[in-house]
């Protein structure tokens, strides 16, 4: 297990959940306040079954994230394993994802906006490639703006 996954902290003591941002097959994502740092964060809560492979996959992903330092990759802050849930604390992106932007504006992105988003995605993927990491999710919901 990754050193940055705490098994001694209680997430409810550390975070104040402000609102749910999304939900998927992986779990739920919340906007939360880290009470210790006074930082607004994105908090991904992933239910952990007794599946060792699932935990190994998550641990591998966390090890990759904790080594990343790029303005084109969402910053990872830490994780807490508590009562069969993995709480993953990450940078909160105020504008949300590209899909969020499109939903809020109720319009398609302009050609110039698409070019900017694509350029940033390529920069993020290039960074991961330089670090010898491969990113498997390339959906608009996973691209922060």
pLDDT at 141: 47
Sheet-wide strand order for 39-47 = 5-6, 76-82, 85-91, 39-47, 27-34, 15-24
Q: Is 31 known to sit in a ligand binding site?
A: no
Whether residues 85 and 130 share a domain: the answer is no
Whether residues 127 and 67 share a domain: the answer is no
Whether residues 99 and 86 share a domain: the answer is no
Give the chain's domain count. 2
What CATH number does the domain containing 31 carry?
3.30.200.20
Whether residues 100 and 143 share a domain: the answer is yes
Q: Which domain holds residue 130?
A: 95-145
- Per-residue confidence of the chain (145 residues) as pLDDT tens digits? 455 677 778 888 899 999 999 898 788 999 999 999 999 999 999 998 766 777 788 888 888 888 889 998 889 999 999 988 999 999 999 888 777 777 888 888 889 988 998 999 899 888 888 887 765 544 444 555 5
Beta bridge partners of residue 23, listed in sequence order = 28
Q: Are 43 and 18 contacting, i.e. CB atoms less than 8 angstroms apart? A: no
Whether residues 12 and 66 share a domain: the answer is yes
């Amino acid at each position: 297990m990754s050193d940055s996954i705490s098994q001694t902290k209680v997430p409810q003591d550390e975070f104040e959940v402000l609102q749910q941002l999304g939900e998927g097959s992986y779990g739920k994502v919340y906007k939360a306040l880290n009470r210790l740092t006074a930082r607004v964060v994105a908090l991904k809560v992933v239910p952990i079954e007794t599946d060792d492979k699932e935990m190994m996959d998550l641990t591998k992903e966390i090890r990759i994230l904790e080594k990343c330092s790029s303005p084109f990759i969402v910053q990872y802050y830490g994780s807490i394993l508590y009562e069969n849930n993995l709480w993953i604390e990450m940078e909160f992106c105020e504008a949300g994802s590209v899909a969020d932007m499109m939903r809020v504006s109720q319009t398609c992105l302009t050609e110039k906006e698409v070019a900017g988003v694509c350029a940033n995605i390529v920069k993020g993927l290039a960074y991961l490639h330089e670090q010898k990491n491969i990113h498997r999710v390339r959906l608009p919901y996973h691209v922060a703006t």
